[in-house]
Structure 1
Amino acid sequence: MSDSPTTVISAKPVVLPAPERGEDLQVRVSAPATGGDLPVIVFSHGFGWSMNGYAPLADHWAASGFVVVQPTHLDSRTLGIPHEDPRTPRIWRTRIEDLTRVLDGLDVLEAAVPGLAGRLDRSRVAVAGHSWGAQTASALLGARVLGPDGLPGADLSDPRARAGVLLALTGLGDDLTPFAVEHLPFMRPSFETMTAPALIVAGDNDRSQLSTRGPDWFTDPYVYSPAPKSLLTLFGAEHSLGGIPGYEVAETTDESPARVALVRQLSTAFLRSALSPGDTGWKAAVTALENDPAPLGALRSK
């Protein structure tokens, strides 16, 4: 018999003032209705999405005992900011600042959600993201962007972010298409200083329009970052990794509820163990995948 479902409370929009941003930062906060000492996941959405996306992940994490905070970045379709807006070239930096602003504003967020006050554990905070959101989250874990001179740019890491889950994170900038080179200069990462523990999830059928390389491009963040890291390679998965932005959305080209369930299960176990060293759930999840007669993916760690 399965456990009874956990009631999740969710509040949106919770607004963090951001005068220099041009739009105040709107976020969604989801949490289990009961329990204390709750760890926090700050989640960065992919291009064009908003705080309303990624329910397959956010709802599961909240039901599993996390407070999930989802900011709406300036590239969100819900805001309708035109491409020629002067803020556009800097949105990649603004996204990173959005995550830092959330961490700075946890008191405000906690007070804004009925029944949440006094239940957060600020010593256990993780960041997560999908696609562009994974690039955003990786900066708080120590990844840097190489400048035109090939040298690492500003260190935007945040020690409050103790671990991360990076979903479909793009790789090194050596093999970008001409379009990406011209329009997306921030896609030249260095992972050498990404020292925080992270689970990197890549699809072995994820072929990007931005790179001349194949799906192995998405394994670069694991290959070129220092331990401790784990890489989950999902068999047959494309960029949506089975549908993590939401079921039945147009961008999901490889819909697979089973694949999404595996991402949920492993990401939850990873973050629990990364934020609570005595937790053995990650080891158990790894063993279960290794012993699965028909696994949906392969895992390696360093």
Structure 2
Amino acid sequence: MSRRRTPALVATTLLTLGLAACSTDAAPATWSPAAEPSTTATPAAEAPRGRAPEKAFAIGVRQLTLNRDGDRPLPVTLWYPARGESGGTAKRSAPAAGGRFPVVVFSHGLSARPADYAALLTRWAAAGFVVAAPTFPNTSRGAAQVNPLDVLNQPADVSYVLTEVLALDGRAGDPLRGRLATDRVAAAGHSAGGVTTIGLFTLGRDERLGSGVVLAGTALGVGSAFAGTAAPQLFVHGELDEVVDYSAGRAAYDRVPWPKAMLSLPRGDHGRALLADGASLRVVADTTVEFLRWSLYGDDTAKRRLPADAARGGLATLDNRL
């Protein structure tokens, strides 16, 4: 969520999303929030037990030009583990590090862009994940016409982007050929991107996804009927969120029938404390990294470290049901 937008304006657009989502004319029929079926847990398809990389990687960055159905341009920023010394900024088109790395697809908030989240997403890449972050055509900053209702089309966008990114692993000549763990995939997103992410586990269930990270998100418009194979979820929410009320995020979290945890920041707002404030960002980054190490690499030591990372500095509390 761009800090250039006033909270009142963003809140209005999200409210518009919720009201319009109740109209059968506002979105495709497949996304109509009809009566939800009962939510039941299914056995988890756990990642094979393993160890996540212990070292930090250098970071590479590149761009993909994608377009779904010819009328939904979806430029994608890819951050990935690269060769070289760790630390410093991401280097454009740097050679990929050796090994196979899980993939995380990240969805930005309303009137934002992937680069707004670079401080967090580059930490994920340095920890051993390939992060694919599309810029959505009608909800990003700079879009010809911002349409909050288009959030309902974004889960399908993410599934398309995931297909195209995973295909790079077998594409002759691509720098990421043989570098993607195509069976270890997660979705993550902030605000409207959190709505998108929840949608990928409810009405738009993508069974390739093994886990999810929801930052300041809500089930508004996409429902909370979590479906399919169990996929662990980590929710992160500021208790002083002025756009998506903490109770709305908590309500979505409570509906998750799978292993889950919720990181709550008592002094956290909608985005600044989650993504820009140094101390809080470190807590969010460390907690999300450990969650991804466990849920995608199958690293049980990361799962055991997660509560301590969440408690560091007394800035957050963790409801841990993993």
TM range, smaller chain:
0.7 to 0.9
- Secondary structure of 2:122's match? helix
Question: Given that residues 193 and 226 in structure 1 are in contact (C-alpha distance below 8 angstroms), is that contact kept between their aligned partners in structure 2?
Answer: no
Whether 1:72 aligns to 2:135 is yes
Partner of residue 136 from structure 1, selected from 180, 196, 199: 196
For structure 2, the residue ranges without an aligned partner over 5 or more in a row are: 1-53, 83-96
User: After the TM superposition, which residues 1-40 of structure 1 pair with which residues of structure 2 at under 5 Å, given as runs?
Assistant: 6-12=57-63, 14-20=64-70, 22-33=71-82, 34-40=97-103
Cα deviation, 1:237-292, whole Å, max 9, x if unaligned, reads: 00005152xx4xxxxxxxx21101111000010011011334311211214545x5
Query: Percent of counterpart pairs with the same letter?
Result: 31
* TM-score normalised by the chain length of structure 1: 0.75
Map of 2:204 onto structure 1: 156
Question: Given that residues 51 and 72 in structure 1 are in contact (C-alpha distance below 8 angstroms), is that contact kept between their aligned partners in structure 2?
Answer: yes
* TM-score normalised by the chain length of structure 2: 0.71
Flag the 1:243–1:233 CA change in 2: closer, same or farther, 3 A.
Answer: closer
Question: Given that residues 241 and 268 in structure 2 are in contact (C-alpha distance below 8 angstroms), is that contact kept between their aligned partners in structure 1?
Answer: yes
Map of 1:117 onto structure 2: 177
Partner of residue 168 from structure 1, selected from 210, 216, 221: 216
- Secondary structure of 2:162's match? helix
Flag the 1:207–1:76 CA change in 2: closer, same or farther, 3 A.
Answer: closer
Alignment-mate amino acid for residue 284 of structure 2: V
Q: What is the Cα deviation at residue 30 of structure 1?
A: 0.9
Q: What is the Cα deviation at residue 51 of structure 1?
A: 3.0
- Secondary structure of 2:253's match? helix
Map of 1:196 onto structure 2: 231
Map of 2:280 onto structure 1: 259
Cα deviation, 1:25-83, whole Å, max 9, x if unaligned, reads: 21011101113110000000000112322001111111111000000112344542225
Map of 1:177 onto structure 2: none
Question: Given that residues 29 and 109 in structure 1 are in contact (C-alpha distance below 8 angstroms), is that contact kept between their aligned partners in structure 2?
Answer: no
- Secondary structure of 2:319's match? strand
- Secondary structure of 2:249's match? helix
Map of 1:215 onto structure 2: 246
User: After the TM superposition, which residues 172-191 of structure 1 pair with which residues of structure 2 at under 5 Å, given as runs?
Assistant: 186=221, 189-191=223-225
Greater relative CO (CA pairs within 8 A, separation 6+): 2
Flag the 1:243–1:300 CA change in 2: closer, same or farther, 3 A.
Answer: closer
Map of 1:52 onto structure 2: 115
